[in-house]
Each structure stands twice: as C-alpha cells, then as structure tokens.
Amino acid sequence: MRKASAALIFATLLLAACGRPAPDASDKAVDAANPLEVAARERGIVHSGAPEPTGVFERAHDLGRDAMCVVLDGAGQWRFALTAAYGPGLSCRARGEATRDGDNWRLHFADAPGCEAVVHEEEDELRLPGSLPAACATLCPQHASLAGLRLPRASWSEADARDLRIIDGQGNIDRPCGG
C-alpha cells in the first residue's frame, strides 16, 4: 500500500511538471549586479568577459607543476612569469611582457632577446606554438623547451596572479607577478 501511494504521488508530480511553460531567454540571463556574481568575478571564479589574459594558468602533472601568472602592466600591456617542470631539477623559467596580437597574445621573453611567441587561448587553455625561435633555447636547460606547452586557466583574478608562488632557480619561493 505504501509503495502504491508513493508511486501515485510521483506520477502526479510528474504530470504536474509537464504543464509548465519553457523558460524564456530572459530567465537565462545573468544578473551582472547580483552580489554573488560580482563576488565570483572579483575572485576569479567566473570569467568577467574581458578579453585579456590577466590571471593564472596552471596544471600539475607527474613531473611537477607548470604555472603562469599574468598581470596588467600599463595600457594594452601585461607582464608574465612562467615555469614549466620536466622532472626533478629540470624546469624552464621565463618572464616578460604580453601584448595583444589580433585574437592572440604575443609573449616577449625578457631573458632571451629575440624570443617571441604568439600564443592563443582556446577553451580556457593557453597554448604555446609547437616550435619556438632559436633565441628561445636559452629559457630552458638541456633539451627542454616551452614549445607546445598548454596551460589551463585556473583563475581570471589579478589578485590570484599576484599571489602565485613559483620556485626560482635557487630553490627560493618567489611571487613573480606580485608587487
């Protein structure tokens, strides 16, 4: 008897739901002034819609951690710091400036004169090209390279980017985008 009345209640609710009209497009719009939406954008949890690279790109893997922070550094210009791990004691580190290049970003590596790369963000992942100029070889020890590196976006927040910690070449923890 108990199962029969539970089934009857379920069937009644199911039929009642069939009579509801489909939500219109205005119900799906995001209220940008909603305090929860504002807080989520400020914290970098959701994309602000701004076409800029500010934030953190990061991924952990078996060989270590790859990370990049990007912060605004003037009108139409950003600065970045990047590290890519290839195992114990083998990693690439780079710093530089980023500028808009059409729909992409051009990275100018400070420690390697003549080393520039056009990168793009696709599906919240920053993708470096599969080959880099010979001048970029000084960014990495031995035969390691930043070519083809992919970094998923972890945050759109400038505060997160300024707080990102990267281990420098001497083993010290550094906040390269801070300050």
* Residue 163: CATH number of its domain: 2.40.128
For residue 42, being part of any structural domain is answered with no
Cα angle: 26, vertex 121, 84; to 5 degrees: 135
Residue-level pLDDT at 77: 93
For residue 176, being part of any structural domain is answered with no
Per-residue pLDDT tens, the chain, 179 aa: give them.
Answer: 566 565 556 555 555 555 555 555 555 555 656 777 656 655 555 554 546 889 999 999 999 999 999 999 988 899 999 999 998 888 999 999 999 998 899 999 998 999 999 999 888 899 999 999 999 999 999 889 999 999 999 999 999 999 999 887 777 888 999 96
Residue-level pLDDT at 98: 96
For residue 141, being part of any structural domain is answered with yes
For residue 3, being part of any structural domain is answered with no
Residue-level pLDDT at 15: 52
Residue-level pLDDT at 52: 81
For residue 92, being part of any structural domain is answered with yes
Range of the domain at 146: 51-170
Q: Which two tokens stand for residue 76?
A: 């139409």
For residue 27, being part of any structural domain is answered with no
For residue 45, being part of any structural domain is answered with no
Tokens 């990049």 identify what position?
68
Counting the structural domains of the chain, the total is 1
Residue-level pLDDT at 50: 47
For residue 142, being part of any structural domain is answered with yes
